Chains A and B, each alone.
Chain A
């Protein structure tokens, strides 16, 4: 579905991504793991067309995305749930939700209507008229996910969705990701919270200094304590 091969990219001098390769199959949830500064957000930005310097291959269903502006990449079927949520403060909840809404593609497996979104996130209907940033942190996270779904993505790029949230909301985010997975959506998930990541991902890529240093199934990662401690600096609480 989505394939990155030998991607180099950065902002100015030097590269942040140093030959990164990964694949997201249709319906798969792929974990992008690594320490702070390993290049997770930069990978997301590279896919979305937001890096000033970019080389290598990025393909969605075989079609190259390199050099396309972000709004075209969005129309091809990628949606970013950005780190820090980035709700538009001047817009109401409803305006935020519908800003990028478009009709589903004919060949799209997982489609989203406003009714479905409201069923999944009832709070967005109840509080539709208030400014988006007046929602709580957890509610804003729901809004940013919902806003991305309205663009009818083939692959959802989820950057640190649990960051800065209370434990109960982290759990809620986990449930939502689970629901999206069950619906059959392909997801690339960058996440510091290993518990949350392992609860939903099928396969994982661990990256460091902008390249993949390990990849394998979620079960392999779960079983490998050394890997967790050495490259992620944390381990799953038992």
Chain B
């Protein structure tokens, strides 16, 4: 198999983006059984806003902040607007968030057009470097570092803080958490907003590698769903592991049989669903 350092770097940098998109989806799903099919749209918004800000200011760092904040604002609107009213109504959630996804795609197409837009990485991270005998793009390596850093940060927040204990307990038994005096809706709103923020950040960070175009949202949304299925609901460690597995399978299959890459990740998801329905690191319900 044509696996070398270059494809590993490409795969792992893609895993960073997948993690940013899917971790919020996974925890929100696990916490409130809320299905957000507009997750990919938040990535898209982060990408477009990041692109525009980078274009007009020339500052990549500013673009990241703007992309993340834009997704946060839209995420809060989604949560405040209708999520709060649709607790436990999964079918309505799916329909509504899918509707939002279509609207976002059309509005962004109207503003930014249908052609893929790409961003150049910041000056500091342009070009290539040599890593274990292969030549790899510096920006991809940086993405891996940023992804790893954020994964550790999210993991620490959820696994080692009191606030994270609220979230984990909520994933286990929402009713009992409320009986102990914790306002679960507020915890949920905060988790949802942070998830949206990470999606937007992912979108802005991803623009130099995946580009941003109508369809990027759907592609990321589907990949994120696979990651959630594979990793197990509500598990950060699961999201980390599954992001890496999905991204590597996708990248490796793509290098020798490009048409089959999407099939391969779905086949992987199907296999996991058959053998271990709760996901790699999820608990049986």
Mark A residues whose CB is within 8 Å of B: 48, 50, 69-71, 74-75, 79-80, 82, 86, 88-91, 95-96, 98-100, 102, 147-148, 151
Complex Cα spacing A186 to B184, Å: 27
Interface pair A48/B179, CB less than 8 Å apart? yes
With A50-B175, A70-B175, A89-B283 given, is the CB distance from A151 to B180 under 8 Å? yes
Q: Quick one: which of A50, A75, A80, A90 has the most chain B CB within 10 A?
A: A90
B255 touches A (CB below 8 Å): no
Per-position contact with A for B166-205: 1 when CB-CB < 8 Å, else 0? 1011011101111111111000000000000000000000
Nearest chain B CB to A98 CB, angstrom units: 8
Let me know if B3 is at the binding interface, CB within 8 A. Answer: no
Contact B179 A79 (CB under 8 A): yes
Cα–Cα, bound, A96→B180 (Å): 10
By the criterion CB–CB under 8 Å, are B173 and A88 in contact? yes
Q: Are the C-beta atoms of A90 and B172 separated by less than 8 Å?
A: yes
Contacts of B179 in A (CB 8 A): 48, 50, 70-71, 74, 79-80, 82
Across the interface, do A70 and B178 meet the contact criterion of CB distance under 8 Å? yes
B188 → chain A closest CB, angstroms: 12
Partner of A89, one of B165, B172, B175, B177: B172
Evaluate contact between A90 and B181: CB separation under 8 angstroms: no
Complex Cα distance A142/B124, Å?
A: 58
Please give, as numbers and ranges, the residues of chain A lying within 8 Å of B184 by CB-CB distance.
Answer: 71
What residues of chain B have their CB less than 8 Å away from a CB belonging to chain A? Answer: 162, 165-166, 168-169, 171-173, 175-184, 283
Contact A82 B176 (CB under 8 A): yes
What residues on B are CB-neighbors of A96 within 8 Å?
169
A70 to chain B: which residues have CB within 8 Å? 175, 178-179
Cβ contact within 8 Å between A71 and B165: no
* Separation of A197 and B131 alpha carbons in the complex (Å): 71
Q: Which residues of B have CB within 8 Å of A151?
A: 180-181
A100 to B181, Cβ gap below 8 A? Answer: yes
Do A75 and B181 touch across chains, with their CB atoms under 8 A apart? yes
The CA of A79 and the CA of B179, in the complex, are separated in Å by 7
Question: CB distance A71 to B182 under 8 Å?
Answer: yes
Closest chain A residue to B171, Cβ basis: A90
> Once bound together, how far apart are the Cα atoms of A151 and B179, in whole Å?
10
| CB<8 Å pairs between A and B, sample of 21 | A50-B175, A50-B179, A70-B179, A74-B178, A75-B181, A79-B179, A79-B180, A80-B179, A86-B173, A86-B176, A88-B168, A89-B283, A90-B168, A90-B172, A90-B283, A91-B165, A91-B168, A96-B169, A98-B162, A100-B182, A151-B181
Closest chain A residue to B30, Cβ basis: A90
Which of A74, A75, A102 lies at the interface centre, i.e. has the most chain B CB atoms within 10 A of its CB? A74
Q: Are B176 and A69 closer than 8 Å at their CB atoms?
A: no
A89: B residues at CB distance < 8 A: 172, 283
Identify A88's interface contact among B162, B172, B178, B183, CB under 8 A.
B172
Would A99 and B178 be within 8 Å (CB), given that A88-B168, A88-B172 are in contact?
Answer: no
Q: How far is the CB of B137 from chain A (nearest CB, A)?
A: 38
A residues near B175, Cβ cutoff 8 Å: 50, 70
Task: Indicate whether A99 sits within 8 Å of B172 (C-beta atoms), given known contacts A89-B283, A91-B165.
Answer: no
- Asked if B283 and A99 make an inter-chain contact with CB atoms under 8 angstroms apart, the answer reads no
Instruction: Closest B residue to A70 by CB, please name it.
Output: B178
Instruction: Say whether, besides A70-B175, A90-B171, A147 and B283 are in contact (CB < 8 Å).
Output: no
How far is the CB of A96 from the nearest CB of chain B, in Å? 8
Set of chain A residues within 8 Å of B173, measured between Cβ atoms: 86, 88
**What are the residues of chain A within 8 A of B165 when measuring CB–CB?**
91, 95, 98-99
Closest 4 CB pairs of A and B: A100-B180, A74-B181, A70-B178, A90-B168
Question: How near does chain A come to B177, taking the closest CB pair, in angstroms?
Answer: 7
Q: How far is the CA of A74 from the CA of B183 in the complex (A)?
A: 10
